[in-house]
Amino acid sequence: MESDAESILQKTRLAGLRRMKEANKYAKRLLSQYPDAADAYIAPGIANYIIGSQGVASRFALRFGGIHGDKKVGMEVARTAENGRYPRPFAKIIPALAARRQKQDALAEKLLRELSEQYPDNALFASEYAKATGLPAPVVR
């Protein structure tokens, strides 16, 4: 989550990538010993999706730094969304937005519906669910 904050919010992409690489290392170590630790799939899943979504030139340059990514492998974050404990809502947001981007409407709709039902006061989840289903956006008061 720190790597996401650095990359997205603070716009320090290189620092974010370093943290992402570090998080992946810890997640892989944990998963090698405890493959059922569903929460650990969030780090490599997000990293793979973000890096895999970069342009060809960016991915090529990142490979020299030992950073690899694959969008399809990145969807493994859905394991955390299904079986995770602590970051489950966050793990649903990422694949829901990725599914919308990849035109996987059924998956996006399912995840956004679940988030809307779990957090009925969150207007953003309701709005994204409405966009995914083609329904009119809810009125926010």
Domains of the chain by start residue, with CATH: 2-133 (1.25.40)
pLDDT at res. 9: 44
**DSSP structural state of residue 108:** H
How far from the centroid of its chain's Cα atoms is residue 76's Cα? 9
Q: Which amino acid is present at 77?
A: V
pLDDT band at 29 (very low <50, low <70, confident <90, very high): very high
Tell me what the mean pLDDT of segment 61-72 comes to: 73
pTM: 0.62
**DSSP structural state of residue 41:** G
Residue 106: Cβ within 10 Å count:
9
Q: Which has more pLDDT, 1 or 87?
A: 87
**DSSP structural state of residue 5:** I
Q: Which amino acid is present at 87?
A: P
Pure H helices in the chain:
2-4, 13-33, 42-52, 56-64, 71-74, 77-83, 88-101, 105-118, 123-133
How far apart (Å, rounded) are the C-alpha atoms in residues 89 and 60? 32
